Structure 1
């Protein structure tokens, strides 16, 4: 007598990694279908986007220190902003390279409350800048528009805002929007990274159901 407690687990070791990475397979699969490769790509893109944003913020701080030192005629702001900015940029850059070359942990819940595509990021940035410029236009005194020093200060503030929005919103959203293509390219061009995927393919089993290893 045999007992069967449920459907047998669906193993996919008979399929090669190239099969699961195939763009043709991805094209005929619903975009929201769950797979191991898509989970890896999403987590990798989220981590890469976060560290890329940190690297960009560090660079913006260094640039701000230089601009303020020229604007104010003092070198105090250069080390005050440049040194922390350089440290943040270097540290985040190191972690960016690390997560790019490794398989991420998909067991951790990654919450992304920002735009997940370049189009969404551009719309968000445009909205923020429009609101800022609108508020300034309604609250600024008429004499402000005739003061070159005030206009230069406004231009510097606007440039700083745009820089932060680019590195904090547009860059991560672009990386996340290209996460699947990035993983496919990395698997094709980097033998070491491909080896990590091959090993993961041989050992991974879906703990929640019968999802396949791919498509991507």
Structure 2
């Protein structure tokens, strides 16, 4: 007869979902402690950050193209870019909305080499923007018509914010966001409740909570 070892960790059903989500319980464990709820929150935040970044980049292309057209740039050069940007933004918005009630399968893991907080994203974007402007500012100052270069500089800023600041801010607050969304979205809460009663602990993730 095979005897399963007794787990040293409380089972998922030993606490209610509300108890597992409690911020005070989370504070008792380090931020690196692995749990199913944290796995869910981190995966949702990374996927949401990715689609939000694409949404911002697509929107930036539309805005930048509109500004260039307003200052007299040829429509043939920027209208196609605006159309592509609009399509990217629309598709990203649809995928972003789908993340709202998405739960990753157990074992799903996402990693990022970028910044994981708003502060880190701001530092990364500001550093790159400063480095680019070392070469761009002399051209702006010496140009007879600096408007195109100023628009280009603004476009660089929009891309950096879209690629670094927005996803970093979303990822950095992924766990707080999940806690807040569960309180106001009954369908998400029900999905997490179903996950709680069916989830099986694994070696890498031994507990359902805390968040």
State the TM-score, normalizing by the size of structure 2.
Answer: 0.90
* Paired position in structure 1 for 2:92: 92
**Does the 8 A contact of 1:65 with 1:80 survive in 2?**
no
Residue 168, structure 1, aligned to residue 163, structure 2: yes
- Choose the corresponding residue for 2:187, options 172, 187, 192: 192
Quote the offset at 1:106 in angstroms.
Answer: 4.9
Match of 2:203 in 1: 208
Equivalent-residue separation in structure 2 for 1:171 and 1:115 (angstroms):
10
2: CA distance, partners of 1:160 / 1:15: 50
State the partner residue of 1:121. 121
Which ranges in structure 1 are unaligned for 5 or more consecutive residues?
A: none
TM-score, normalised via structure 1 length: 0.89
Q: After TM superposition, what 4+ stretches of structure 1 lie above 3 angstroms from structure 2?
A: 2-10, 105-109
CA RMSD of aligned residues (A): 2.1
Deviations 1:29-58 (A, max 9, x none): 111111000000000000000000111111
- 3-state secondary structure, aligned to 2:178: helix
Q: For 1:68-121, what per-residue CA distance to the aligned partner results, in whole angstroms no more than 9, with x for missing partners?
A: 222334332453112111111010100001012221235344231110100101
Give the match for residue 15 of structure 1. Answer: 15
Larger radius of gyration: 1
Deviation at 1:126, TM superposition (A): 1.3
